[in-house]
Amino acid sequence: MSSQQNWSQDYARNASPGHVTTEMMAPFQTQDTSGHNQSSATGGGNAVLPTSQIEMTLSCRNLLNRDITSKSDPLCIVQMSDAWSNSYYEIGRTETIIDNLNPEWVKKFVINYSFETVQKLRFEVWDIDPDRKEFLGQCETTLADIMAYSGRQFAKKLTGVSNRDCGEIIIVTEELSTCKQIVGMQFRAKSLKKLSWICSNDPFLVFSRSNEDGTYSVVMKTEPVRSTQKPLWMPINMRVRSLCNGDYDRTIKIDCFDKRSNGDHKLIGSCFTNLRNLTQNPRENSYPLVNQRKKKHKNYTNSGFVELVTISVAEEITFLDYIRSGTQMHFAVAIDFTASNGAPRDPQSLHYLDIYGGRPNPYEIALRSVGDIIQPYNSAGIYPAFGFGAKIPPTGEVSHLFHLNGIPSHPYCSGVTEVLDHYRKRLASVTLYGPTNFSNVINNTASIAQQYEDGKHYFVLLIITDGIISDMIHTKRAIINASKLPMSIIIVGVGNADFAAMDELDSDDVRMQLDGKYAERDIVQFVPLNKFVSKTGPFIRAQADLAKEVLYEIPQQMTGYMRSRGFKPNIPVPITSNNTAQAFDSQPIHPVPNAPPVLIA
């Protein structure tokens, strides 16, 4: 087999569970850490603990309509500024809601609230269309101002569009509980009232939790079920903290809507319950859906019924639970060596090595940022490292997967520093070429991960690139196949290319699909490096900010995979009456503070 062939095929042929060569298995061995201190991934220095963590829910009213034939498709970007700085940085953004001037976003924002500091916030609302985005308004305030309305609605006018009323933004904050439980539920409905003479309903459910002032905040939406009056919705899995902030007696409103393509969804009816009722009486949870506007009709009783099919509550298993029980994180690197980066000797090149000034290039920043965080979680400290898109000596053939260290049988580097050393050496020996193909490096890492689906290993592939993908269809297919495996993919875009197509891969809101086949889960995180560093900016700060952004989803992606496969960390838990799994005809697993009595419709 030539040096340009997929080395993982050799690996797969030579290695099998229970019998592998020492050389091939070395990077994936879980070392016995008993009696040894493991490195911490948290930074040093004097950490300041926040006063508390708060969860923020956003909605808007009466937004500008920027579309001619429909309505605006709003998205909200949340930004924060430190007390000592006049510049804002993004902390997150909501999902986009189609054709809606009164959006209620599901996505929540968890923020560390510090009483002793000024935490400035800016909210920008945009109309997102396929070919452009248009500004709808913004507002600036402080977290302290919002917290004064904790449990109630903080409303403020949006501004920024001359001579126009931009509407208002509504912010609800609440201190997070320490509840670490996951609730799984499935609902169905029957006898739904038909809202159209022509066709059946496309019903979906919206779950909202009550606030202290009697209002409700949306926490979950199901996907619609097409053309039926008796839908069975897909199972819901969410944190109890998100559903009711750990309070089993908190009122939960369930709205059933008929989906309309123009965004003007029609309410079928609503019902009310709480988590205690749902868990204590799972076989008796059938609720009439009542539409208050129709109650004035003489013969109206209800618009159908929504019923609980199944429910389960379990303690949430965290990322640290897996790490502490020995799960290993493995870090693989793939670097873009295409000609669009510019000649390495050119100071304007993205691959330029600043030998005298010592300033790292974008590829070095990305490698160091992510590698330094991942490194403590891999006790072997050895990483497969590859390049793609270059002509390789001595044949000059273009390769979309070559080994940075030049050793096909053992393409591992001992630590991030060695990865950087081999990267710099390869720049001097290869000819930058093209095109930009991702599928080879993704399939390569997937072939390794496929052999370690035992719950003890998780793989993170870092792809650093400057250009738009040339093999998008093959890349999507590779990602969909990899979504079933213990791996995540981080893509860092460097340079000034248009990376809009990368949003198709980072499917936070809509599952990726190709030819009718869907990704099992979201495993891709894309981040443009220019968001964090300028040519004159401090690269040390850029590395820290970049690492925080690109690695943010990894713990959730890993625990999501482990849960989906039934892998549990091997952590001894004392058996008590409060932490054992229970059937749901009894009390919840952990006692929770009782809210005032609520009426259940």
Segment 440-487, tens digit of pLDDT: 999 999 998 999 999 999 999 999 999 778 999 999 999 999 999 999
pLDDT value of position 379? 66
**What is the rounded average pLDDT of the residues 44-63?**
73
Which of the pair, 140 or 17, is modelled with greater confidence? 140
Find out if CATH 2.60.40.150 is the number for domain 181-315: yes
**What is the rounded average pLDDT of the residues 112-138?**
89
Tell me which long-range contacts 564-571 makes (C-beta under 8 A, separation of at least 24): 564/520, 564/521, 565/453, 565/455, 567/454, 567/455, 568/317, 568/455, 569/317, 569/321, 569/322, 569/324, 569/325, 569/327, 570/325, 570/326, 571/321, 571/324, 571/325
pLDDT value of position 149? 73
Maximum Cα–Cα distance across the chain: 87
**What is the rounded average pLDDT of the residues 207-234?**
92
Residue 590's pLDDT band (boundaries 50, 70, 90)?
A: very low
Asked whether this chain's domains 52-175 and 181-315 adopt the same fold, the reply is yes
pLDDT tens digits, 332-362: 999 999 999 999 999 999 999 988 888 889 8
- Percent of the chain exceeding pLDDT 90 equals 49
Q: Alpha-carbon Rg of the chain, whole angstroms?
A: 26
What crossing angle do the helices spanning 362-374 and 416-429 adopt, rounded to 10°?
150
Give the three-class secondary structure for 27: helix
Length reported for the chain: 601
pLDDT value of position 371? 80
Is the per-residue pLDDT at 559 higher than 80? yes
pLDDT value of position 205? 96
Task: Tally Cβ neighbours within 10 Å of residue 500.
Answer: 10
- Percent of the chain exceeding pLDDT 70 equals 83
pLDDT value of position 355? 84
Nearest residue to 436 via CA among 341, 347, 527, 364: 341
What CATH number is given for 52-175 in this structure? 2.60.40.150
Q: How far apart are CA 5 and CA 438, in angstroms?
A: 15
**Cis status, amide bond into 27, omega within 30 of 0:** no
Query: Which CATH architecture describes the domain 325-552?
Result: 3-Layer(aba) Sandwich (3.40)
Backbone angles phi, psi at 354, to 5 degrees: -85, 85
Assigned token pair, 261? 């393509």
98-107, 241-250, 366-375, range with the lowest pLDDT: 366-375
- Where exactly are the structural domains of the chain? 52-175, 181-315, 325-552
Q: How far apart are CA 587 and CA 553, in angstroms?
A: 33
Assigned token pair, 219? 């926490």
End-to-end CA distance of the chain: 70
Write down the mean pLDDT value for the chain: 81
pLDDT value of position 571? 61
Helices (H), 222-329: 240-244, 275-280, 319-324
